[in-house]
Amino acid sequence: MGKQKWIRILLCCECCLFFMLGIPGCSGQAPYKQPVSSSSIASQLETAEFYQDEQLHFTFQIPLCWVSQDSLYTQETIFDESSQNGYTSFYYAHDPSIPLLRIFRESQKYSSHEFSAQFSSFCKGQSVFFLRESNGGYYYAVLPENCSLPIGKEADLYNSMALSENDVKRRFSIES
């Protein structure tokens, strides 16, 4: 086994242990853990692959923790050709109804509050922030604030994949 593979395995184990010990005991659903330190695998800018969205004209660097031996995320893009608006959703692969991140392209500029109100079906209980502007398009990101999985291994894995606002901003770029 190569040195890089061992490093990845050790980092994944450390991250899982961090989240297992950091989750408070409660009944019901596990809280979503935003990464708070640079030791989080998700916050490292190491990249497993690049996602290039040709319709919405952006590139996103997929974090290593989203891709292990199997891909831990799925992706879906919705695009309206007439308005050039749309969004790409990245979902947790073990439960494709649970988003990890959504990136929107809109032709209108909104404040985070206005965007959240306008797109409440996508943004309820989630954090909205502005990414960038390019060629009359405005890019926004939406991150979950809560993990809807019951406490356990799945919630721990999902939480280990959490990205912060800064992580998303560093990984996002607009195609020329």
Domain boundaries defined on the chain: 3-174
Q: How far is CA 113 from the centre of its chain?
A: 20
The encoded tokens of residue 60 equal: 């996103």
Contact between residue 163 and residue 63 where contact means Cβ atoms under 8 Å apart? yes
pTM of the complete model: 0.72
Per-residue pLDDT band at 176 (split at 50, 70, 90): low
Q: For 62-87, how does the pLDDT look when each residue is reduced to its tens digit (9 = 90+)?
A: 998 898 767 889 999 999 998 889 99
pLDDT of residue 65: 86
Q: For 142-158, how does the pLDDT look when each residue is reduced to its tens digit (9 = 90+)?
A: 998 877 777 888 888 88
